[in-house]
Structure 1
Amino acid sequence: MKRKILITAIILALFSCQNKEKPESRNIIKTITEDTLSKTVAGTANLSEVPAKDDKTVELIRKQLLVLLKKDLPAMTKEDRFFYYDAFDLNNDGKDEYFVGFSNSYFCGSGGCSGYILNNEGIVINKFTVTDFPILVTTSSTEKFYDLLFETGGKFHLLKFKNGKYPSNPSVQENWKGDIPAASPVVLDIYAKKLEKYSF
């Protein structure tokens, strides 16, 4: 093992010397790769230097939130400006919808928290208020969208998709009677799944 590390170090040293004559020809990927390899060989690699995942969905949601919350931004602290999201195809069209939730004092009160459901292009399907997470997806549907169960005030409420959106206030919708279906998919399970939070 020591021999392999020594050979790798010698190759890197030779490679580095050859490239010193033409620094402008080195590209950033090669530089990062060499740096990571040399740190790994030396035992000084720090995995915290790896950038956080920032995919297209996160960027789509981030841009939409900056528009939707434009008037709120001046009153928000840095700690207020983060979100969680979860994806689920609510209408079986092969494209996920995005559940966006918050868990700080700006968006949450004694009745629960607020959030959004966005379509695959980032357009708001609706805003929701006073809910506790997670949100459950039932097997029944209305207007081709799955019915949802939102918990608020310790009770589950059934939300049905009508006229292009779900109701915004779950607490005034009909109470769910009976047991919660065990097979119900769970979305925005912020606490149990420890979903990653993103800034906006």
Structure 2
Amino acid sequence: MKIIYRIVGLLGTVLFFSCTSDHRAANKNDDTLTVPGDTSASTMIPAPTPTNAIPYSDSTGNEKTVNLVKAKLATMFKDELSKKLIDEQSRKFKLFEHNLNKEPEKEIFVGLTGANFCGSGGCTVLLLSAKGDLITRFTVTGSPILIADTKTKGWNDLILHSDNKNHLIKFDGKKYPSNPSTQPVYTSNPSQTLVKGLEDSDQLYTW
């Protein structure tokens, strides 16, 4: 019997817009992690709660990835943030890492939230390389991200929920199509053994 392979990435939370609220100053003995390199008040990341799916020891040590994503978002949305066009609810993210190809590094899925990035059809999800380069910016995408057990051009196919349907998303050699709703509908029931990421009901971290 196949062992159900649960989410293998980190579901991270961090504001990618600097806040100055007093609650960000925390006692060193509390159960939080501090992001290094933040010259303003410390940005706190809640420590994960151990679960049977992902041992605590496997979920720590990804602070580098969280910082990488934070820096990428701050750069990507620099103009909008400087003009205060992104509301506070939209200044958060969660992430999920998975190796989609034969390269040793894991790619990073970044789920965004809030009115700036979500609508009735779903939310924006970014796919970044391990170095933080943008591969695909998915629009109108729902939860969860499913990693198919088939591949195209050396990359795993994805099953993304959009427009109330599952769609099969294939790599074209450079990127994935950005709008899942325009791709072929995935008519089969996804196997329970598929890797899931960014699932709303199964998070180690809050937003």
TM-score (norm 1): 0.71
Letter matched to residue 77 of structure 1: D
Equivalence for 2:201: 192
- Judge conservation of contact 2:153–2:172 (CA < 8 Å) in 1: yes
Structure 1 residue 196, shift from structure 2 partner: 2.4
Structure 1 residue 197, shift from structure 2 partner: 4.9
Equivalence for 2:147: 137
Give, in whole Å, the separation in 1 of the partners of 2:156 and 2:121.
24
- Asked if residue 57 in structure 1 is aligned to residue 73 in structure 2, the reply is no
- Judge conservation of contact 1:91–1:145 (CA < 8 Å) in 2: yes
Structure 1 residue 50, shift from structure 2 partner: 6.5
Letter matched to residue 57 of structure 1: T
The structure 1 segments of at least 4 consecutive aligned residues displaced by more than 2 Å after TM superposition are 46-54, 194-198
Give, in whole Å, the separation in 2 of the partners of 1:71 and 1:188.
27
Deviation track 1:49-88 (CA, whole Å, cap 9, x = no partner) reads 7644581111110111111112322201222211000100
Equivalence for 2:121: 111
Letter matched to residue 47 of structure 1: D
Which structure is richer in relative contact order (CA contacts within 8 A, separation 6 or more)? 2
Structure 1 residue 48, shift from structure 2 partner: 5.3
- Judge conservation of contact 2:89–2:113 (CA < 8 Å) in 1: no
More helix by share: 1
Structure 1, unaligned runs of 5 or more = 1-34, 37-45
Alignment RMSD (CA, Å): 2.1
- Judge conservation of contact 1:82–1:197 (CA < 8 Å) in 2: no
TM-score (norm 2): 0.68
Deviation track 1:130-156 (CA, whole Å, cap 9, x = no partner) reads 011111000100111000000012210
Letter matched to residue 147 of structure 1: D
Structure 1 residue 176, shift from structure 2 partner: 0.4
* CA pair 174-97 structure 1, distance change in 2 beyond 3 A: same
Letter matched to residue 67 of structure 1: T
Letter matched to residue 196 of structure 1: Y
* CA pair 140-80 structure 1, distance change in 2 beyond 3 A: same
SS at match of 1:94: coil
Equivalence for 1:66: 74
Structure 1 residue 92, shift from structure 2 partner: 3.1
Structure 2, unaligned runs of 5 or more = 1-26, 35-43, 46-61
* CA pair 114-195 structure 1, distance change in 2 beyond 3 A: farther
Larger Rg: 1
